Amino acid sequence: MSTPSYVIQGQTVNIPAIVRDASSGTAMYMVDAAAAQKLVPEAFDVVEAAPGMTQCTLVIVDYRDNDLGDYDEVGVVFFVRPAGQSDAELGSYIYKLPVNQSFTCEAGFQIWGFPKTVEEIDFAYADDSATCKLVMGGQHVLTLTVPRGGEGSTEDTAATGYTLIEGVPHHNEFVRGGEGEQTVPGGEGVVLELGDHALAEELRSLGLETAAPILSAWSEHMRGSFGQSFKL
């Protein structure tokens, strides 16, 4: 069986696309499920983690060795299932996925339907923290600092992602593992500053500016892969 491939900006991308090395941080918040559902397409239902509440995760990634290039990324992620399918597999829906390189933007959108746009993203590292600043259209969206460190590791584990491609719901499998990892319960060490961009206002409306995250996580050396997308 042949491996799917795509030609993006004159370069061939084979599927699965491999991530060999990256650093990533996350901050997870509990938010109002009804408010989150307004940001998610009708094709998907947000999943309640507690009555009336769902999880919203801010993700920052510094990709160093990746089939899609060396670039930075910020994600706003919700956990969902296909609409009306309460027994379907839990998966992630990425609401926004700004990056700072055009190749990965085009590839991510064409192959998987990821909502990538090219924006200004800057990473700064300290011994015990990492900070990522996102600017879109000249307006500050957010600056997120998460604790950095850890000696844990994660074996390669598969998970499901949900997207829309030309308005049609799709699912894909992604795999991730890592070294130099930690998970920190609560908001210790997490600092989130929201700016004046419209996306910042949406995050503010979810309560992220005042709520403490329920956890943060860090991976110094994340690896993984992104598989083929299939219609639901």
How far, in Å, CA of 69 to CA of 71, rounded?
6
Question: Mean per-residue pLDDT for 49-70?
Answer: 98
Task: Give the CATH superfamily of 5-226.
Answer: Acetoacetate decarboxylase-like (2.40.400.10)
Predicted TM-score (pTM) above 0.85: yes
Q: Chain-wide mean pLDDT for the chain? A: 97
Q: How confident is the model at residue 1 (pLDDT cuts 50, 70, 90)?
A: low
pLDDT at residue 31 is higher than 80: yes
Predicted local confidence at residue 2, as pLDDT: 67
Sign, CA dihedral 74-205-159-7, equals negative
Q: How far is CA 168 from CA 37, 92, 112, 171, in A?
A: 18, 16, 11, 10
Predicted local confidence at residue 3, as pLDDT: 78
Question: Mean per-residue pLDDT for 133-161?
Answer: 97
pLDDT at residue 77 is higher than 80: yes
Question: Mean per-residue pLDDT for 40-48?
Answer: 98
Domain ranges for the chain, please list them. 5-226
